């Protein structure tokens, strides 16, 4: 009989017990379906270790061919503790000097040993924490536009709809209300481009800190959409996280939109967009607004004198050189690759040497950060998107 997979310990106990009772090894091995060497091994393990010897043993090899010898690992740790400022390259060179007959471990292996023993100080990357920007109080149409996504809702065909809305801060004129199937920046680009072509360019746009208006992974929370606005000479304003009242006029419009155009939801996007278009027409031209003294938003709004044009390439007269950011968000200087951000992919930036082997990266009128001869990533400069954004001249 073969060993039972789920009761190996019980089978071995029975096997040993019958051997102790005087039964012959060869007969028992045939009955249990094992070879005689296996039977003797089980019995000898019992005699050497008792019942513990009948448990399954680890199949891990005694020595791994790729595992670093513990003596070398101990030497690496000792060197680091003795010379706390030494890194993996210097420790490797020291090992080569002290132990010329052994094969030196790789730098990455030494660094992994130091990290395993808690001897590596990890550099903390600065991550943008949304704080909002200075907010303006526009007094004329197109001085400030407000944009946001009304909360998503489920259509009758079980697909989610994300309405993107744009309104003028002063006149409350609703510039766009588009039902989209996601908050991807590609769809937002199309909606804003249509609005810019029809109504011209505003001086500033106010949003929250969510996608696609901002990005927590990029320098100063910039997104592709925000970079495009800056290229067009549009200032960016962001409310503080958790303070929707700072975009209160737009949020109040969303409440009306929800009541009149989304309950109940339509079956598909075409039907729902038809209701949005009808709501936009009534909201702008037929619905009196109390904050406007009973007038319609269309009676106060006039298109912007700033026409939409594809922005020209920025010029950098002061930086030492001009570089185009690659599609993977890097600045390439010869064989060097410095990580900037994907949001600047395809954009042109200026580079100027500020100190010995330290360079400053600028985009338009804004200083983004620094890199040196050793690091391959940008250390952020002080956040330029404060009051300075509100006074930037158009590109």
Pick the more confident residue, 52 or 95.
95
- Tell whether domain 70-116 is in CATH 1.10.10: yes
Q: Please give the model's pTM, rounded to 2 decimal places.
A: 0.65
Buried b (16+ CB within 10 A) or exposed e, 82-101: eeeeeebeebbebbeeeeee
pLDDT at 262: 94
- Flag whether pLDDT at 40 surpasses 70: yes
Q: What is the pLDDT of residues 177-195, one digit of tens each?
A: 999 999 999 999 999 999 9
Question: Which is nearest to 148 in space by CA: 165, 173, 169?
Answer: 165
Pick the more confident residue, 261 or 108.
261
- Flag whether pLDDT at 127 surpasses 70: no
What proportion of the chain, given as a percentage, has pLDDT over 70?
88
pLDDT at 72: 86
Q: How far from the centroid of its chain's Cα atoms is residue 359's Cα?
A: 26
Q: Which of 9-13, 21-25, 77-81, 389-393 is predicted with the least confidence, judged by mean pLDDT?
A: 389-393
pLDDT at 270: 95
Architecture of the domain defined by 145-300: 2-Layer Sandwich (3.30)
For the chain, the domains span 5-54, 70-116, 145-300, 321-391
pLDDT band at residue 386 using 50, 70 and 90 as cut-offs: low
What is the C-alpha separation between 289 and 292, in angstroms, rounded?
5
pLDDT at 394: 38
| Alpha-helix residue ranges (DSSP H) falling in the chain | 8-20, 25-32, 36-49, 70-82, 88-98, 107-116, 185-199, 224-231, 248-261, 269-285, 297-300
Pick the more confident residue, 157 or 333.
157
- Flag whether pLDDT at 69 surpasses 90: no
């Amino acid at each position: 009989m073969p060993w039972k997979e789920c009761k190996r310990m019980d089978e071995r106990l029975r096997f040993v017990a019958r051997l102790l009772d005087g039964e012959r090894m060869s007969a028992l091995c045939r009955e249990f379906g094992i070879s005689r060497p296996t039977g003797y091994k089980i019995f000898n393990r019992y005699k050497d270790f008792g019942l513990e010897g009948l448990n399954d043993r680890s199949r891990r090899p005694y020595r791994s061919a790729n595992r670093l010898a513990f003596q070398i690992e101990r030497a690496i740790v000792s060197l680091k503790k003795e010379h706390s400022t030494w890194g993996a390259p210097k420790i490797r060179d020291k090992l080569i000097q002290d132990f010329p007959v052994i094969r030196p471990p790789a730098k990455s292996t030494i660094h992994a040993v130091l990290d395993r023993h808690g001897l590596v100080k990890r550099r903390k990357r600065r991550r943008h924490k949304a704080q909002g920007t200075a907010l303006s109080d526009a007094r004329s149409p197109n001085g400030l536009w407000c944009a946001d996504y009304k909360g998503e809702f489920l259509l009758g065909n079980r697909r989610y709809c994300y309405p993107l809305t744009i309104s003028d801060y002063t006149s409350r004129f609703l510039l766009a209300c588009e039902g989209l199937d996601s908050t991807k920046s590609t769809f937002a680009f199309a909606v804003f481009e249509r609005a810019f072509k029809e109504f011209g360019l505003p001086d500033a746009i106010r949003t929250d800190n969510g996608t696609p208006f901002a990005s927590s992974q990029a320098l100063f929370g910039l997104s592709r959409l925000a970079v495009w606005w800056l290229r067009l000479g549009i200032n960016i304003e962001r409310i503080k996280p958790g303070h929707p009242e700072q975009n209160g006029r737009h949020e109040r419009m969303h409440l009306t939109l929800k009541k009149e155009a989304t309950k109940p939801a339509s079956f598909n996007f075409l039907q729902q967009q038809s209701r949005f278009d009808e709501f936009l027409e009534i909201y702008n031209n037929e619905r009196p607004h109390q904050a406007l003294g009973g007038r319609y938003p269309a009676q106060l709004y006039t298109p912007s004198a700033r026409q939409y044009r594809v922005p020209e390439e920025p010029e950098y007269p002061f930086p030492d050189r001009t570089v185009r950011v690659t599609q993977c968000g890097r600045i390439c200087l010869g064989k060097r690759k410095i990580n900037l951000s994907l949001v600047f992919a395809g954009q042109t930036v200026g580079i100027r040497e500020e100190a010995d082997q330290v360079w400053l990266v600028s985009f338009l009128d804004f200083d983004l950060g620094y890199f040196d001869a050793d690091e391959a990533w940008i250390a952020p400069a002080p956040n330029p998107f404060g009051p300075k954004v509100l006074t930037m001249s158009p590109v």
